């Protein structure tokens, strides 16, 4: 939609309003709201990583101090919350991704596998990548 | 808001790319660095010389800039629309400019931190 379509509507109509029960009154609204809210803990985790890179650039003492700060109770709790939201995001992203098909003309064919099995593939791919990252960063290779 | 709407394909591209990158790498980074980083398990892997060598190589630099900045742009776009959902179109300019400004600041901070390695 181009920018010119965002002006006031030519036909008088009631202003847009939220659906009844939004954001937490119905399970589909709740799922949507939790998925949207994943942006906040994920951004916090990204900011923590930026702080870590800055510490890495300042030398060994700053890096060790940053790692030690991650071991405190509040930071552990914060990072567990960030992880739970990030995992929820990844799983829901993968679960929705199974329905994405390449653009085509004509009738949509049946999926090659049942939809729940198609959903497992991206989730398994994500988990494998997390494991590979853990092995590389941990120096286990 | 016209400026924001004209650039909508770019916001969507950053949002989509950030979503993929977040799904692929963010939980792994949170587990390996933020949660297990201080533990004995990662003491060799994330010792200063090794962590610095990993992060300051060309692959490490590109990886860090791409992952962190794209995740931030993804979060900014999601936050913009989450704010719209909660507070309506009156919040649109603040949500859009605020969220994207934060993502831009985060990107600048990421690039400068990585280049300083």
CATH code of A81's domain:
1.20.1300.10
Of A40-44, A119-123, B9-13, the least confident: A119-123
The verdict on residue A107 lying in a domain is no
Domains detected in chain B: 2-115 (1.20.1300.10)
Interface of A with B in 6-65 (CB under 8 A): 6, 16-18, 22-23, 33, 36-40, 42-43, 45-50, 52-54, 56-57, 59-60, 63-64
Position A7 scores a pLDDT of 64
Residues B40-79: tens digit of each pLDDT: 999 899 999 999 999 999 999 999 999 999 999 999 999 9
Asked if residues A31 and A93 have their Cβ atoms less than 8 Å apart, the reply is: no
pLDDT for residue A5: 56
Average pLDDT for A65-94: 94
Q: Is residue A14, in this structure, part of any structural domain at all?
A: no
Using CB atoms, which residue from B1, B2, B26 is nearest to A42?
B26
How many independent structural domains does chain A possess? 1
CA distance A63 to A69: 10
Return the CA Rg of chain A.
22
Q: Which domain holds residue A56?
A: 22-98+113-138
Structure-model confidence comparison of residues B92 and B77, the more confident one: B77
Q: Is pLDDT above 60 for A80?
A: yes
| Structure tokens, B22 | 């977040």
ipTM comes to 0.94
> Taking all residues of chain A, what is their mean pLDDT, rounded to a whole number?
86
What mean pLDDT do residues A97-116 have?
Answer: 71
- Report pLDDT for A103: 66
How far apart are the C-alpha atoms of A31 and A49, rounded to whole Å?
27
Q: How far is A130 from chain B (nearest CA, A)?
A: 4
Q: For residue A127, give both structure tokens.
A: 């988990």
pLDDT digits (tens, 9 = 90+) for A122-133: 788 889 999 999
pLDDT for res A4? 54
CB of A77 closer than 8 Å to CB of B44: no
Backbone angles phi, psi at A113, to 5 degrees: -135, 160
pTM of the model: 0.87
Note if the bond before A23 is cis, omega within 30 degrees: yes
Minimal Cβ distance to B24: which of A60, A126, A138: A126
What share of residues in chain B are helix, strand, coil (percent, to 5)? 85, 0, 15
Gap from A114 CA to chain B (nearest CA, Å): 23
Contacts B29 to A, Cβ<8 Å: 45, 49, 133
Residues of chain A positioned with their CB less than 8 A from the CB of B51: 56, 63
Closest chain B C-alpha to A12 CA, distance in angstroms: 17
**A119: in domain:** yes
Asked whether the predicted pLDDT for residue A112 surpasses 90, the reply is no
Q: Which residue has better confidence, A19 or B34?
A: B34
Domain assignment of residue A5, yes or no: no
Tokens at B79, concatenated: 């936050």
């Amino acid at each position: 939609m181009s920018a010119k379509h965002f002006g006031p509507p030519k036909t008088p109509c009631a202003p847009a309003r939220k659906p009844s029960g939004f954001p937490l009154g119905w399970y589909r609204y709740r799922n949507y709201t939790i998925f949207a809210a994943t942006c906040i803990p994920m951004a916090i985790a990204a900011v923590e990583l930026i702080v870590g890179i800055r510490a890495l650039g300042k030398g060994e003492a700053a890096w060790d101090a940053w790692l030690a700060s991650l071991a405190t109770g509040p930071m552990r709790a914060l990072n567990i919350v960030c992880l739970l939201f990030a995992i929820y995001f990844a799983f829901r992203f993968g679960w929705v991704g199974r329905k994405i098909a390449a653009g085509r003309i004509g009738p949509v064919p049946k999926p090659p596998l049942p939809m729940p099995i198609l959903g497992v593939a991206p989730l398994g791919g994500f988990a494998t990548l997390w494991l590979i990252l853990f092995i590389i960063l941990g120096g286990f290779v | 808001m016209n400026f924001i709407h004209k650039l909508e394909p770019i916001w969507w591209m950053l949002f989509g790319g950030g979503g993929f990158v977040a799904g692929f790498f963010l939980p792994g980074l949170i587990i390996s660095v933020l949660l297990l980083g201080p533990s004995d398990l990662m003491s060799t892997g994330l010792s200063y010389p090794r962590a610095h060598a990993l992060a300051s190589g060309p692959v490490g630099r590109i990886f860090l800039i791409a992952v962190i900045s794209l995740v931030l742009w993804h979060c900014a776009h999601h936050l913009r629309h989450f704010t719209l959902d909660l507070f309506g179109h009156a919040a649109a300019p603040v949500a859009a400019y605020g969220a994207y400004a934060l993502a831009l600041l985060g990107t600048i901070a990421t690039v400068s931190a990585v280049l300083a390695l």
